[in-house]
Every structure is written in structure tokens, then in C-alpha cells.
Amino acid sequence: MKGIPRSIGQFFGGQYYCGLDIGSFKVKASLNRVVDAQTLELLAVNEADTRGLAAASINDISDFSSCISAAMDGVLRKTRIKVRDVHVGLGGEFIDTRLSRALIPLVERGNKIVTARDLHHARQQARMLGVRLDEEVVCDMVQQFKVDDVNIALNPIGLYGRKLEVETLLVLANITRLRNLTKAVQQAGFEVNDVHFNAWAATELMLDRRHRNDGCVFVDLGARTSLVLVFKEGLLKGFRKVEVGGDLMTQHIAASLNIPFQLAEDIKKSYGRVLDGKSDLTQDVGLSSEEILIKKDAGFVPVKRDALSHAIEPDIRLISDQIRQVVALSGYEGQLKSGIVVVGGGSLLAGLMERMENDAHMPVSLGRNIPGLNSAAVYCISTSLAEMGYKNTLRYKLDSQKPKDWWDGFKAKAEELSNEYF
């Protein structure tokens, strides 16, 4: 979802871009500076506890605005740079998804060459058919195009046909929630430039063309929900939202050990480890005999470390099972050469990478490093939101294209218009 530019400067884009990742547990902000079309320098990141938000709805706009202000002010104080526009990202509980298809005629008789305009028209039609009155489309993720019901094409531009069909996955958000979110950001002293789907923005930063073409699974482990996306041949081939995240694991540890949530969160980060999935769950080597001390009302109490692993084991199994199911339903099982790429705070849990690799029988890696940032998996989404903000401006088009590219684009547009009307 894109906002309407309020000025020529906003339309062309500036030098600094700020991403704001709205999570159910944390609000994260990143400030980036444009170096050139291929490079954005990360200047600062900051986070604040989410307040005034429950079940993806704002229940106290003052508290919610305050946490946005806290996250943003921390970034601005570190850099002493003033920005007003922010690029907001939503995911997990905030979004719904729906598969939509649209079929448009290209010509009444004979056939014609498919153009970029036809693709845009088909996607717009799919968006209109798939959205409800109380929803707004945050983004649409094309899964395939089909020309004349028989020719399935990854990129049908230049092919002859009489009709064009598109199958796309719509990412939707409730309009009232979006309006309240915009108001909260404005109350914090900033303006929403546009709204993106978190996971999709992260794939733009973390996955290159090789990942998408060779095939990979992208997993975003959030606080309340996790998202699984499967790519192959350059397009999205599978998607699933899993109702498991870092918060649920912490809740299970807290319930198992009868301790407060925040203490369970601290223990999970310091001592939590995922079972390897190979050995007997009651005899995981190295964990069954190791003890840690937990402070309770009566004093410090020893607890076996493997109790933490057993508490989160059902969540780990569910995530692994869901990944396998999404891959199987995509039809590309055993064909995803680039393996699994994992981001999100939950990805830092010790032993998780090895367990996912054992369960999925694919190589697993964390999202690529971001220069100047140690915890790239945690802040990759807010950073990618800033990058997407830049790439949606005219400045990016001017920076990224050479004079020859402009000339080639002009010739292609002229040829497209010729094929369309003559």
C-alpha cells in the first residue's frame, strides 16, 4: 500500500530512509542513507517494547504512539538526523492472505503480443476481485501467469495470446486498523509514507535472483506468528502463516517452570537450546545433566537445562512440520537448491538451525549479514523496509539506470504502444 506523495521531494525521494517494523512484542526502527543505487548505508537501529496494542488492534493510542516515538527517537538521537517519513511494515497478526485469480481478454479476434500494461491490468483485476470492502491490499505476490489457458509463463511479456490469466496471493489488512496505525504514527510526530508486508520486504533484501530461481524456503520467525514462503523459478510457489513464535515458546517455558514471562524470556535467550531431533527426547546428550539456577521467591532453585528444551519441543516440531507441508504442497520437494533462509528473533535460538536442517533435509542459513549490524536477523525487516522505501522512488530509477537503459526503455515502450494500437 502506497501513500500519496505530499510533495515533489517525497516523490523523487531524499537521502535518508527510515523503516518501522511494527511487531506485537517490539517496535524496531532503522535509518539508512543512500550511497548509490546498489548500496544503502545503515546508520542506526533501535527498538522499544510494544505497548497499547493487543491482537493487532490498538487499545491505547497514547501508549502505542509513545512506543513508536521511543523507537524513532533512539535512532534520531544516535544520528542527529531529522526525518519525517517512515516506511511501515506489518506482518503476523496484522495481515490476512487470500488467493485470487483474474482472467482478462487481450483482443476480441486473432491474438496480440502481451505487454507490461496487460500484466498490470490483470494484477489490478485480481486485486479488485479478491478484496473485501473493509480490507486494503498491502501487496500482491504473483504465483503464475497463464496465456490462453495452456501456456503457463513466468514472464509472458512478448508472447502472443488472446487472453491472460494471473494467479496471485493477496496480503490484506483491515482498513480501520491501518487508519488507526497511521494516526498513531502521526501522533508520534511522523508520517506514514507507505505500508509493506514485512516478510515480502525482507525477501527483497535477503534473497537474490539465484535464491528465487534455484528455489528456497524463506522463514520469518516472529514473536507471535511465523511465516513460511517458498520460491522457485523466480516466483512465489507456497505460503503459510504458522501460529507459533518466540512468545509462545517463552509462555511454555514460563508455564513449565512456574516463573514470570520476562524471566522465562531471559532464560530462553541465555540457556535455551533446541533438541537435535535425533536422540531420545529424554536423553539428549549434554542437556540432561546440566543444571541452571533460577531465582524464585524462596531463593535460587536448580533446574535441569533440558527442561527448557522439552518445554519448547512441541513448538519446534510444529514449525518443522509446517515447513515440510508447505514445500510438499508447492510441488517442488527435493528441488529447492538454495535451501532454507531464516530471519527473525526466534532464529537466534541455539540449535534451531541444526534441527531445521535435520528435519527438512535441506541446508539452513541465517539471512545474510548487513554491514554495520551484528544482529542482522533481528533488524533485517526494518532495514529492508527502508530499502524498499528508496526503491519505490523516482530517484532510485534515476540512480539505477544509465542513459542507454533509458533509451532502451523508450524504444520498448514505443514498440509496446505500436503493438497495442496498430
DSSP code, position 94: G
Residues of the chain with CATH 3.30.1490.110: 95-174
Instruction: State pLDDT tens for residues 90-146.
Output: 987 889 999 999 999 988 777 888 988 899 999 999 999 999 999 999 999 999 899
Distance between terminal CA atoms of the chain? 35
- Distance CA(226)–CA(99), nearest Å, equals 19
Which residues, at least 6 apart from 134, have a Cβ–Cβ distance to it below 8 Å?
A: 174, 175, 176
- Distance CA(365)–CA(351), nearest Å, equals 12
Q: Would the pLDDT of 151 be above 80? A: no
Fold that domain 8-93+176-203+382-400 belongs to in CATH: Nucleotidyltransferase; domain 5 (3.30.420)
Cβ pair 81, 34 in contact under 8 A:
no
pLDDT band at 411 (very low <50, low <70, confident <90, very high): low
Average pLDDT, the chain: 85
DSSP code, position 14: -
Candidates 391, 241, 395; CA nearest to 319 is 241
Fold that domain 95-174 belongs to in CATH: Dna Ligase; domain 1 (3.30.1490)
pLDDT at site 6: 47
Residue 52 belongs to what H/E stretch?
none
Average pLDDT over residues 19-32: 91
Q: How many CA atoms lie within 13 A of 59 on its CB side?
A: 8
Cβ pair 201, 385 in contact under 8 A:
yes
Residues of the chain with CATH 3.30.420.40: 8-93+176-203+382-400, 207-360
- Distance CA(137)–CA(120), nearest Å, equals 15
How would DSSP label each residue in 204-217? HHH--HHHHHH-EE
Residue 266 belongs to what H/E stretch?
helix 261-271
- Distance CA(93)–CA(201), nearest Å, equals 17
Instruction: State pLDDT tens for residues 387-399.
Output: 888 888 877 777 7
pLDDT band at 2 (very low <50, low <70, confident <90, very high): low
Query: What percentage of the chain exceeds 70 in pLDDT?
Result: 86
Phi, psi of 206 (to 5 degrees): -90, -25
Instruction: State pLDDT tens for residues 203-256.
Output: 988 898 899 999 999 999 888 889 999 999 888 999 999 988 888 899 999 998
Instruction: State pLDDT tens for residues 60-77.
Output: 999 999 999 999 999 999
Grid cell, residue 10, equals 517525497
Grid cell, residue 44, equals 542506526
Contacts 24+ apart (CB under 8 A), 204-208: 204/384, 204/387, 204/388, 204/391, 205/367, 205/380, 205/383, 205/384, 205/387, 206/341, 206/343, 206/367, 206/368, 206/380, 206/384, 207/231, 207/341
Packed helices 198-206 and 376-391: angle between N→C axes, nearest 10 degrees: 90
pLDDT at site 12: 47
Q: What is the pTM of this model?
A: 0.85
Candidates 229, 191, 236; CA nearest to 85 is 191
DSSP code, position 346: G
342: which strand partners?
A: 219, 366
DSSP code, position 5: P
Fold that domain 207-360 belongs to in CATH: Nucleotidyltransferase; domain 5 (3.30.420)
How would DSSP label each residue in 370-422? BTTBS-HHHHHHHHHHHHHHHHTSHHHHHHH--HHHHHHHHHHHHHHHHHHH-
Cβ pair 107, 38 in contact under 8 A:
no
- Distance CA(190)–CA(62), nearest Å, equals 14
Grid cell, residue 71, equals 523507537
Grid cell, residue 389, equals 522505501
Residue with the larger pLDDT of the pair 266 and 291: 266
Which residues, at least 6 apart from 76, have a Cβ–Cβ distance to it below 8 Å?
A: 31, 82, 83
What does each C-alpha distance from 393 to 5, 10, 41, 112, 419 come to in angstroms? 10, 8, 17, 32, 29
**b/e sequence 383-400, b meaning 16+ C-beta within 10 Å:** bbbbbbbbbbbebbbebe
Strand, helix or coil for residue 234: coil
pLDDT band at 372 (very low <50, low <70, confident <90, very high): low
pLDDT band at 183 (very low <50, low <70, confident <90, very high): very high
What does each C-alpha distance from 140 to 75, 131, 349 come to in angstroms? 31, 11, 31
Cβ pair 202, 220 in contact under 8 A:
yes
130: number of Cβ within 10 Å? 20
